[in-house]
């Protein structure tokens, strides 16, 4: 078999070429993407490509195109990134496996053993044992087929259980590993805590929460992973940005479902700490599933600090900017930000820099809802104001209280005024579906000091 080596660094190129030669490959080596393209076009027996992507986009296009035209070819990517980023980069170009710099003979032989032609997949689980004869990887017993999304905490893949003939699909998330500078004993402790805390979160069973079905560590590289049910639908972010036709009561129904999910999470002594529209899935029936909640973010857990998971800035509570030790009330602040965004089509806090955003969240009041929509219901504004209190002791203390106030508003909204005199107290009417909802706008409401 012919092995093509396209590596810019001379020493690395020679090392890989020598290893391939010792394994009876006919080696074609170059430091140029253009030369590699020429070799591929003239050499029909190439079955293995080991390449870096130092040329950037041209290299990516070359490798992706090569895999598309020759699906049976094996591509091993050499990356100067850390492991998780290297894996994502490898998947992006259709690679089958990867090596991280600095490389040595042991690393090269190890990856070649994993992708040896016509070798059946090893039985032991783990990232390092994944046989990559197609554009997939294997983590434990799950075959990764494509990337669903990337975020600060990891990469999410569509996955299938290789032992399950039903062809069911799952969402598998590879979490960022502990820092490369961490001591080995510290890394082990962090990962052991991850397993304990993941077990706690996996016990959650609520219709508005994406279920965790499996979790573990890839055996060779100790990358934490979780396997979740795969939810078909759109993120709440999609609904907000595309201004989909969702009426007021439907919006409140979405907020209530998020609150119900938080209540279950908090009752299990877990904080989400990264609640945002991107982590909330909605199907065509407007049924909500909260995803990616933080089993690695239990209250008083130093795993939160160790993995450096802090949340998304515009949804973080004021206290989150001052301390990594937060509780469920930080999630309720995030719920307030999301509710404001759902109901008013804009975020309560925006700024041109992280420093300015932090200052606004900690010190400034958001724009009053009645200034955006003069007919905005007073009772809903009071709910938002309490969710967005700077002082967490003044905020809602429990999700069930938020639910109670929201459901009370719904009951009042659905009940028409009993007399003409009562109706005269209202100065605006909004049509929501088939329902006339009338709003009282009082001086106290308009002068609320929680708003600017």
What element of type H or E holds 380? Answer: helix 378-387
Q: Cα(307)–Cα(223) distance, rounded to whole angstroms?
A: 12
Mean pLDDT value across residues 244-254: 87
Phi-psi region of 3 (alpha: psi -120 to 50; beta: other; left: phi over 0): beta
Instruction: Tell me, yes or no, whether 272 and 180 share the same domain.
Output: no
> One of 52, 96, 97, 274 is an active-site residue; which one?
274
Domain count along the chain: 3
Strand locations in 252-301, DSSP E?
Answer: 280-282, 288-290
Residues 6+ apart with CB under 8 A from 388: 333, 336, 337, 340, 348, 366, 395, 450
Q: Cα(172)–Cα(97) distance, rounded to whole angstroms?
A: 18
Residues 6+ apart with CB under 8 A from 70: none
The domain spanning residue 106 has which CATH number? 3.40.50.2300
20, 52, 211, 270, 274 from 16: Cα distances, Å: 6, 12, 43, 47, 42
Strand partners, 169: 160
Instruction: Tell me, yes or no, whether 364 and 434 share the same domain.
Output: yes
Asked whether residue 127 is assigned to any structural domain, the reply reads no
Instruction: Tell me, yes or no, whether 29 and 137 share the same domain.
Output: no
Residue with tokens 């009282």: 440
**DSSP string for 294-305:** -TT--TT-THHH
Strand partners, 224: 217
pLDDT tens digits, one per residue of 39-55: 888 876 788 999 998 87
Q: Cα(364)–Cα(424) distance, rounded to whole angstroms?
A: 35
Band of residue 29 on the pLDDT scale cut at 50, 70, 90: very high
Instruction: Tell me, yes or no, whether 217 and 247 share the same domain.
Output: no
Would you say residue 128 has pLDDT above 70? no
Asked whether residue 452 is assigned to any structural domain, the reply reads no
Q: Cα(45)–Cα(112) distance, rounded to whole angstroms?
A: 18
Contact between 235 and 282 (Cβ < 8 Å): yes
Asked whether residue 362 is assigned to any structural domain, the reply reads yes
Instruction: Tell me, yes or no, whether 365 and 315 share the same domain.
Output: yes
Among candidate residues 55, 84, 119, the one where a domain is terminated: 119
Asked whether residue 199 is assigned to any structural domain, the reply reads yes
Strand partners, 240: none
Would you say residue 167 has pLDDT above 60? yes
Share of the chain above pLDDT 70, in %: 75
Please classify residue 61 by burial: count the beta carbons closer than 10 Å to its beta carbon, then call 0-12 exposed, 13-18 middle and 19+ buried. middle
Instruction: Tell me, yes or no, whether 142 and 188 share the same domain.
Output: yes
The first and second tokens of residue 178, run together, are 């502990």
Mean pLDDT value across residues 58-62: 85
Q: Cα(96)–Cα(118) distance, rounded to whole angstroms?
A: 14
Q: Cα(449)–Cα(443) distance, rounded to whole angstroms?
A: 12
Contact between 387 and 339 (Cβ < 8 Å): yes
Instruction: Tell me, yes or no, whether 343 and 253 share the same domain.
Output: yes
Instruction: Tell me, yes or no, whether 110 and 142 share the same domain.
Output: no
Q: What is the mean pLDDT of the chain?
A: 78
Predicted TM-score of the model (pTM):
0.62
Q: Cα(334)–Cα(342) distance, rounded to whole angstroms?
A: 12
pLDDT tens digits, one per residue of 374-428: 999 999 999 999 999 999 999 999 999 999 999 999 998 876 655 444 334 333 3
Mean pLDDT value across residues 160-166: 86
The domain spanning residue 440 has which CATH number? 1.10.510.10
Asked whether residue 346 is assigned to any structural domain, the reply reads yes
Mean pLDDT value across residues 134-147: 75
Asked whether residue 124 is assigned to any structural domain, the reply reads no
Asked whether residue 74 is assigned to any structural domain, the reply reads yes
Contact between 281 and 289 (Cβ < 8 Å): yes
Asked whether residue 374 is assigned to any structural domain, the reply reads yes
What is the domain range of residue 113?
1-119
Would you say residue 308 has pLDDT above 80? no
> Which of 180-194, 301-315, 332-346 is least confident?
301-315
Strand partners, 180: none
Q: Which candidate, 128, 72, 125, 126, places its Cα nearest to that of 99?
A: 128
Share of the chain above pLDDT 90, in %: 35
> What pLDDT is attached to residue 151?
67
Would you say residue 25 has pLDDT above 50? yes
Among candidate residues 183, 208, 230, the one where a domain is terminated: 230
Is 274 an active-site residue? yes
Would you say residue 266 has pLDDT above 90? yes
Among candidate residues 176, 199, 230, the one where a domain is terminated: 230
Mean pLDDT value across residues 244-271: 91
> What pLDDT is attached to residue 177?
62
Mean pLDDT value across residues 78-103: 77
* Residue 397 Cα to chain centre, angstroms: 27
What 67-70 contacts at long range (C-beta under 8 Å, 24+ apart), as own/partner pairs, is 67/93, 67/94, 67/95, 67/135, 68/94
pLDDT tens digits, one per residue of 418-447: 544 433 433 333 333 333 333 333 444 444
Phi, psi of 123 (to 5 degrees): -85, -25
The domain spanning residue 187 has which CATH number? 3.30.200.20
Instruction: Tell me, yes or no, whether 78 and 155 share the same domain.
Output: no
Instruction: Tell me, yes or no, whether 4 and 152 share the same domain.
Output: no
Instruction: Tell me, yes or no, whether 80 and 98 share the same domain.
Output: yes
The total number of residues shown for the chain amounts to 452
> What pLDDT is attached to residue 178?
58
Residues 6+ apart with CB under 8 A from 69: none
Instruction: Tell me, yes or no, whether 22 and 99 share the same domain.
Output: yes
Of residues 222 and 175, more confidently modeled: 175
């Amino acid at each position: 078999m012919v092995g093509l080596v396209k590596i810019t660094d001379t020493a690395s190129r020679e090392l890989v070429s020598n290893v391939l030669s010792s394994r009876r490959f006919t080696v074609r080596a170059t430091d140029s993407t253009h030369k590699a393209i020429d070799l591929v076009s003239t050499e029909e027996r190439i079955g293995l490509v080991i390449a870096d992507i130092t040329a950037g986009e041209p290299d990516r296009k070359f490798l992706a195109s090569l895999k598309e035209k020759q699906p049976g070819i094996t591509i091993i990517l050499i990356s100067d990134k850390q492991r998780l980023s290297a894996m994502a980069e490898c998947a992006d170009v259709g690679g089958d496996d990867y090596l991280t710099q600095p490389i040595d003979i042991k690393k090269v032989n190890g990856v070649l053993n994993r992708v040896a032609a016509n070798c059946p997949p090893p039985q032991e689980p783990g990232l390092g044992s994944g046989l990559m004869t197609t554009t997939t990887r294997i983590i434990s017993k799950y075959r990764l087929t494509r990337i669903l999304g990337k975020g600060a905490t990891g990469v999410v893949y569509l996955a299938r259980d290789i032992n399950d003939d039903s062809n069911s699909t799952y969402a598998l998330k590879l979490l960022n590993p502990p820092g490369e500078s961490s001591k080995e004993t510290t890394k082990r402790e962090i990962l052991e805590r991850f397993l304990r805390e993941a077990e706690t979160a996996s016990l959650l069973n609520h219709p508005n929460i994406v279920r965790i079905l499996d979790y573990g560590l890839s055996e060779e590289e100790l990358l934490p992973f979780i396997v979740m049910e795969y939810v078909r639908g759109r993120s709440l972010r999609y609904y907000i940005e595309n201004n989909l036709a969702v009426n007021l009561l439907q919006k409140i129904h979405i907020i209530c479902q998020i609150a119900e999910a938080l209540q279950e999470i908090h009752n299990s002594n877990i904080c989400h700490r990264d609640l945002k529209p991107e982590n909330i899935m909605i199907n065509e029936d407007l049924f909500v599933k909260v995803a990616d909640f933080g089993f690695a973010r239990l209250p008083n857990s130093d795993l939160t600090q160790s993995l450096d998971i802090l949340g998304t800035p515009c949804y973080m509570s004021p206290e989150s900017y001052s301390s990594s030790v937060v509780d469920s009330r930080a999630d309720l602040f995030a719920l307030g930000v999301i509710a404001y965004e759902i109901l008013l089509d804009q975020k309560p806090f925006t700024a041109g820099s992280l420093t300015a955003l932090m200052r606004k969240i900690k010190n400034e009041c958001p724009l009053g809802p009645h200034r955006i929509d003069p007919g905005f219901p007073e009772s809903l504004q009071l709910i938002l104001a309490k969710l967005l209190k700077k002082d967490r002791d003044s905020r809602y203390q429990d999700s069930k209280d938020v639910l109670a106030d929201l459901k009370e508003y719904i009951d009042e909204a659905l009940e028409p005024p009993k007399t003409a005199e009562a109706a005269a107290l209202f100065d605006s009417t909004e049509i929501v579906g088939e329902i006339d909802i009338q709003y009282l706008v009082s001086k106290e409401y308009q002068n609320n000091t929680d708003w600017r």
